[in-house]
Amino acid sequence: MTAKPLSPGLWLIGIGPGNLEHMTDRAKKVARACEKRYLEGYTAVIPASQEELLDGVIGDWERLMRPSVESPEAILKEAREYPVAILVVGDPMQATTHIDLEARCAEQGIGFEVVPGMSATTMAVSLSGMQSYRFGRQVTLPYQYGNYLPTSPLEMIYSNYNMDLHTLVLLDLDPNGMGFDPPKPMQPDEAVRTLEEMAKRIEDKEGDQMPPDAPVQEWRGILISDIGTQNEKVTTGNLGEISSLGDGWVHTLILPASMSDNEKDAFERRRPRKNGATHSRLPHPSETR
pTM: 0.86
The amino acid at residue 255 is L
Cα distances (Å, whole numbers) of residue 69 to 38, 91, 95, 100, 197: 10, 16, 11, 9, 31
Domains of the chain in start order, with CATH, are 9-118 (3.40.1010.10), 121-269 (3.30.950.10)
Cα-based torsion angle of the residue sequence 188, 242, 246, 268 in order, rounded to the nearest 10 degrees: -130
pLDDT in tens, 207-237: 655 667 789 999 999 999 999 998 999 999 9
Distance between CA atoms of residues 20 and 47, nearest Å:
10
Closest CA to 223 of 133, 136, 141: 141
pLDDT in tens, 2-21: 456 899 999 999 999 989 99
Q: What pLDDT is recorded for position 214?
A: 85
Helices 152-162 + 188-206 axis angle, to 10: 80
Closest CA to 85 of 98, 67, 103, 71: 98
For 103-134, b/e burial (b = at least 16 CB within 10 A) is: eebeeeebebebbbbbbbbbbbbebbbbeeeb
Distance between CA atoms of residues 237 and 268, nearest Å:
8
Cα-based torsion angle of the residue sequence 191, 163, 263, 167 in order, rounded to the nearest 10 degrees: -20
Q: What pLDDT is recorded for position 95?
A: 75
pLDDT tens, per residue, the chain with 289 residues: 345 689 999 999 999 998 999 999 999 999 999 999 999 887 788 888 999 999 999 999 999 888 888 889 999 999 999 999 999 999 988 777 788 999 999 999 999 999 999 999 999 999 999 999 999 999 999 999 888 999 999 999 999 999 999 999 999 987 776 556 677 899 999 999 999 999 999 988 876 556 677 899 999 999 999 999 989 999 999 999 999 998 899 999 999 999 999 999 999 999 997 655 555 455 555 554 4
